[in-house]
Structure 1
Amino acid sequence: MPTSSAASGPTPTADTAPLSLCAREPHVPAERLVAEMVPPPRFDSVRFATYLPDPNQPSQSEAVRVLEEFAAGLGGGPAAGSGRRRLFGFGKAPRKAPTGPRGVYLDGGYGVGKTHLLASLWHATDAEPARKAFGTFVELTNLVGALGFQQTVRTLSGHRLLCIDEFELDDPGDTVLVSTLLGKLVDAGVALAATSNTLPGKLGEGRFAAADFLREIQGLSAHFRTLRIDGEDYRHRGLPEAPAPFSDEQVTRAAHATRGASLDAFPQLLEHLARVHPSRYGALTDGVRAVCLTGVRPVPDQSTALRLVVLADRLYDREVPVLASGLPFDQLFSEEILRGGYRKKYFRAISRLTALARDARHLVEPR
């Protein structure tokens, strides 16, 4: 079971004018997308030593052992052309990949600590930050969109390690794009690590998820070793049920009493997300210490739902608590939406928003 430091939480103050996410339309240059390919703030301090394996799940301890060995195998001094010149693909040609597996795939359900372990691998790899990259599958496709395919290959080819969190198996076009990119990077000697989620209905059937992953990355399967990580969602293990939503008045009052809080009506926020590219959702939350939402209701369609998933991921990465009125987060997505091909994303969003709702309780209730 992973651990992470508790969020310090927003600071209650006298009445202040809250921020508004709907008033923000951030511009994010490509250089920032590259520079931010590091573990998010929630995983700044995680290490293999801070991962606490469930004694009833020996696969968790085994995963730590294998990943520590994998990180040790990536050690060594920086290659020529490191730093900014290497980051954008200049300098000497990268080394060729050695024989044998150059990648690991962490297969398991929600909340078993795959991202914790992936970030720990990034931290444990002996390379300067400019020569190892960490990002979600969505962030990687956004990088290709911003830089172009060839420039992305040049940018990442000088890296020692690329970590891809939440590898998506439900978008054939993006999956082929990333598979082709990874093939170029493996040829350049870059080591790979990836995670994905087993669907809630397939817990215990991790071999199917692993087979899906290896099939989708086509000719790269020989470069990956699959690590199955069993266990239950630590975010809900031994914890109370998700807090019931608060009233509009409670949410509004908390937003005015908390420095750095934002306050938005949920329907208007969903409309605003349609006007902001998902690659900018992280920048959308810059400086926000709590998100307060009124009138939470089910999302109207799949496109809106997918945008909300990206925002939930960015808020979770940054440990931003979410205080809301309206319906509880486990009622965000209709049964029809949950039956579709993107259901693993929606279950992840529910899990993460529920955790952030717990973090926000102290904004209304005494500690």
Structure 2
Amino acid sequence: MTLTEPVRPGVRKRSRSLSRASAVGRFLVIVLITYLGLLAVTFFIGRVIPVDPVLAIVGDRAPAHVVERTREELGLNKPLPEQFVIYVSKVLQGDFGTSVLTSNRVIDDIARVFPATLELATLGTLIGALVGIPFGVLAAVKRDSLVDQIVRIIGLVGYSVPIFWLGLMALLVFYARLGWTEGPGRFDIVYEYTVTPVTGILLLDTAMAGQWDAFRNIAGHLVLPSLLLGYFSLAYISRMTRSFMLNELAQEYVVAARAKGLSETSIIWGHALRNAAVPLVTVIVLSYAGLLEGSVLTESVFAWPGLGLYITNSLQNADMNAVLGGTIVVGSVFVGLNLVSDLLYRFLDPRTRMR
């Protein structure tokens, strides 16, 4: 093919397909390396901390031969590289070992408690997005006004004040003093044996079963922790929305739209926010991932039986299989949501699909 010969459509199509395949391959390699790094970090943390998993199982007063036999059964007498290979192979099969605290398989415990964290984080993210996006847009439109200052102060408080302190104050005021909400826990003990978990998301389970008394009780227990996580999410989302909107409102297409006589409502919500929505989706997904992995303190304050409280209790009882299993699940969720974020970005922004 000479320099002046045009590129045929078939050649261009094959070139584009190869480019996409190469991009997908690079992305999968990055995900694989990230996940192997996560496994390596959790493995070596489990080996360097001053807690002997064997003694946690058999007890401090077990005879020496029992300790050695247990160590051999667990494979802890083998070289570290061999232990790591065994560890990775078991994790890839979903085998995180057995919990010392509950005597159940760690994967079964995580499957039982994770829906509670998922329910709480999902509600928190919805609250944060539904309130934070309008707040951020309003702050950008009213830049440097009193409204903007109030929104920025709300976000600053959400970032600065420890979430466990806000949780304790919320319980003290709205539960203990005013009695407006239900207290700690996921539901009252009277519903312990009447609610049958199907999906593990009890609001959905009770609604499908028509158990409206239990539904209202569960919703009452969700109010404070979900609002607290929602406020934490709102602080981040509103700040980023304001930043994105300020950038979009300074673009030339906004000036052109105003020159054409379009209304401010159409410009702000129909044009500027639509363009800001592309990076904003990434912010919301990462905020969701942060709530899924960072709700440990919230679950501890509200005695919420989710993954965060499970990891905390396991750590306090030197149950390292459960701690490492929970850490791997949290890290996997974060990696997975980053993948979803990247795919959504490519779907929403056609320019990224052309690269």
TM-score normalised according to structure 1 size: 0.23
Larger radius of gyration: 2
More strand by share: 1
TM-score normalised according to structure 2 size: 0.24
